[in-house]
Amino acid sequence: VHMFFTPEFAPYYFDAYYKEDMILLEIVSRVGGGIRELTKKAKEFLAREYGFILEGKPAKVEACTEPLIFRELFSGAFLPARGNVLLVGDAGGMQMPVTAEGIGTALKSGIMASDAVALASHKGEKADKLYLPEVARLVEEIKKIYGWTKRIREASSLSPKVLSETLQGAWSEGLRMGE
C-alpha cells in the first residue's frame, strides 16, 4: 500500500495498491467532501508523478462512510452491545479516526468482548453489562484521537511541513493508544 498525503489533498489522503492485476485507489474523505473532485485530483497526481494512465476505466466503484458513526458512538446514542450481542472493531464503530484502520481496535475490543462473555457466563449475567464499561475506555481513547482531525485540517492550510508534523503526531498518539 502506498499512502499519499499531498498538500492539495489535505486534510484527506488517498492510497493506491496493486491487487489481482488492478490498481486499487482508495480515497479517504468525509461525507460531503467532494469525492468525485478528490478522485480526479488523486488520479491527476498519480499521472503527473508516477505515469498513471488516466484513460483507464474503473473495474469497480464502492464507498464507505464509517466515520458517520463517531458522533453517535461518542455521544452514547449508539452502544456497541445489547444483551449478549457484542460488536467489536469496525462493527462497533471502533476504528481509528485519522487512518480509518481498525485491526488494533478490533483486537482490543475483541479481547474485551471475550472477557465479558466468559465473566458473564460465570456470573449468569448479560455480557453487555460487563463489556460496555470496558469498551467505554477504548471509545474515550478513540475520541481523543478524533480531535486530531481538526488539527490536521488546520495544518493543511499552513505548509507541507506543518501538515507532516501534525500527521506524525496523530499517528504517534494512535500507536500509543492504551499504553
The string of pLDDT tens digits covering residues 28-85 is 776 666 778 888 888 888 899 988 887 777 776 765 544 567 888 888 888 999 999 9
Q: What is the pLDDT of residue 136?
A: 95
Residue with cell 464509517: 66
pLDDT band at 96; cut points 50, 70, 90: confident
Question: Exposure pattern of 17-43 as b/e (b: 16+ CB <10 Å)?
Answer: eeeeeeeebebbbeeeeebeebbebbb
Res 178 pLDDT > 70: no
CB 112 within 8 A of CB 94: no
pLDDT in tens, 5-27: 777 777 777 888 877 777 788 88
Higher pLDDT residue, 16 or 124? 124
Q: What is the pLDDT of residue 65?
A: 46
What angle do the packed helices 128-146 and 160-175 form, to 10 degrees? 160
Higher pLDDT residue, 66 or 124? 124
CB 116 within 8 A of CB 134: yes
Window from 3-12, 101-110, 113-122, 146-155 with minimum mean pLDDT? 3-12
The enclosing H or E element of 4 equals strand 2-4
Q: What is the pLDDT of residue 110?
A: 95
Gyration radius (Cα) of the chain, Å: 19
* Count of other CB atoms within 10 angstroms of residue 44: 13
Helix (H, G, I), strand (E, B) or coil at 130: helix
Q: What angle do CA 7, 12, 16 make, to 5 degrees?
A: 90
Mean pLDDT on 167-174: 85
Q: What is the pLDDT of residue 66?
A: 45
Mean pLDDT on 145-149: 84
Residue type, 82: R
CB 74 within 8 A of CB 84: no
pLDDT band at 124; cut points 50, 70, 90: very high
CB 127 within 8 A of CB 113: yes
